[in-house]
A = this chain, B = another copy of it.
Amino acid sequence: MIRNLIEALPASRIREVANAGIGRTDVLKFWFGEGDQVTPAFIRDAAKASLDAGQTFYNHNLGIAELRDELAAYANRLHVPARPVTADRIAVTSAGVHALALIDQALIAPGDRVAIVTPVWPNLTAMPRIMSAEVVRVPLDCRGGAWSLDLQRLLDAATPGTRMVLVNAPNNPTGWTMPRPDWVELLAHCRRHGIWLVSDDAYERIVFEPGLTINGHAPSVLDLVEDDDRYISANTFSKSWTMTGWRLGWMVAPPEFIAQVGKVIEFNTSCAPPFVQHAGLAAVRDGEPLVAATVARLRRSRDLLVDALATLPGVEVAPPPGAMYLFFRVAGFSDDSLAFAKRLVAEAGLGIAPGVAFGPEGEGFLRWCFAASDTLLLQGAERMRAFLKRALAA
């Protein structure tokens, strides 16, 4: 009845794991890509003030002018591009993931080839398939728990005629962050072949290795692009400003693309709610201390959890350079990641995402979101320790 293609898309393997815990109230949940902090009051207050002011009407497809201006200024502060980003390169969207969905709708005709670096959160590969694209997956390599990309492999996959290359870096789930020289080479390749280079920059602020950062953010295509490049940066308010539930995102793209994508926005959600956009405005304008505190907290959490897990038998883990996940193996246990994750929920009250949720390349791994309190993380690590001890003794 529904399209076969939709039926064939895997349902969330994370939810499947969560279902294994139904009836248990004591599960420690590290499976979603979401911290445990409520959005700060100054951001919620901006939304409330907007509601009080009666801002409950339709607004511009591309977003309210103040927010587009502020996001352009933000791009310039962060990326210091050769030519300043102007508001006509900004579109506000109803979630970061929706920016990506709109880009796919705008660019992909049936049969178009799309190359994507994997493992990756499932939405990135599913939406091109919904648009009837041919999706080519380019896997990262894992050595000693650390993830890297063989760039040549990606260039080879992005054959002439390829419509789009999609890179999520810092990457969810692995934390892999693409070094600037790779961006330079990839952009040159895309220029040569007229390929759109789409960068999912959701975690650009969440990066821990000073050697990798530029001006405090992860390298992005936005640092390099020139006027006639075919690039798009998709972004979200979710991670940098702890606004997951708000469903607010944006994209930076050439003005000619933005002018056209306004139509696609009209036909999807028409616009983001004005009071949500005013909350976003407060976040970008006044949120730098929040971002700094978030990154500091996440770095501490990352190190805490890596230390706690690295000593456990069979665990192979390295501190990721970015994002907010450990993507790690447990020798002898995680080969079937879905079964293992279900077992952890049922037998240890420990909720972790199975690696296979992020594609076949993720099989054998687990994803642990470390955006949580020290207490919770240590408690989780202790449950893993106790589980492995019991299991190895059995």
Contact = CB atoms under 8 A, between A and B. Distances in A.
A245 B55 contact: yes
A48 B11 CA distance: 33
A374 to B, nearest CB: 20
A1 interface: yes
Contact of A230 (B1, B109, B275): B1
Contacts of A95: 94, 268-270
A284 interface: no
A324 interface: no
Contact of A245 (B59, B130, B264): B59
Query: How big is the A interface, by class?
Result: 35 or more
Given A245-B56, A247-B94, A267 B127 contact: yes
A366 to B, nearest CB: 20
Given A1-B256, A107-B3, A267 B126 contact: yes
A268 B109 contact: no
A246 to B, nearest CB: 5
Contact of A268 (B54, B106, B268, B272): B268
Which of the listed residues A107, A132, A257, A273 has the most CB atoms from chain B within 10 Å of its own CB? Answer: A273
A30 to B, nearest CB: 14
A113 interface: no
B260 A2 contact: yes
A65 interface: no
Interface string A258-271: 00111110111111
B130 A264 contact: yes
A34 B57 contact: yes
Contacts of A127: 267-268
Interface string A10-27: 011000000000000000
A246 B273 contact: yes
Contacts of A1: 230, 254, 256-257
Contacts of A32: 58
Contacts of A256: 1-2
A244 interface: yes
B107 A132 contact: no
A9 interface: yes
B267 A101 contact: yes
B245 A269 contact: no
A292 interface: no
Contact of A109 (B5, B54, B270, B273): B5
A119 interface: no
A51 interface: yes
A276 interface: yes
Given A101-B268, A245-B274, 20 more contacts: A1-B230, A2-B106, A2-B107, A6-B105, A6-B264, A9-B263, A12-B266, A39-B54, A47-B275, A55-B245, A57-B244, A97-B269, A110-B110, A123-B267, A245-B271, A245-B275, A247-B270, A247-B271, A247-B272, A273-B276
A363 B269 CA distance: 26
Q: 10 shortest A-B CB distances, which residue pairs?
A: A38-B54, A39-B56, A110-B110, A56-B245, A44-B51, A95-B269, A57-B245, A2-B260, A126-B267, A127-B267
A71 interface: no
Interface in A221-272: 230, 242-247, 254, 256-257, 260-264, 266-272
A47 B51 contact: yes
Nearest to A163: B3
A302 to B, nearest CB: 21
Contacts of A244: 56-58
A245 B273 contact: yes
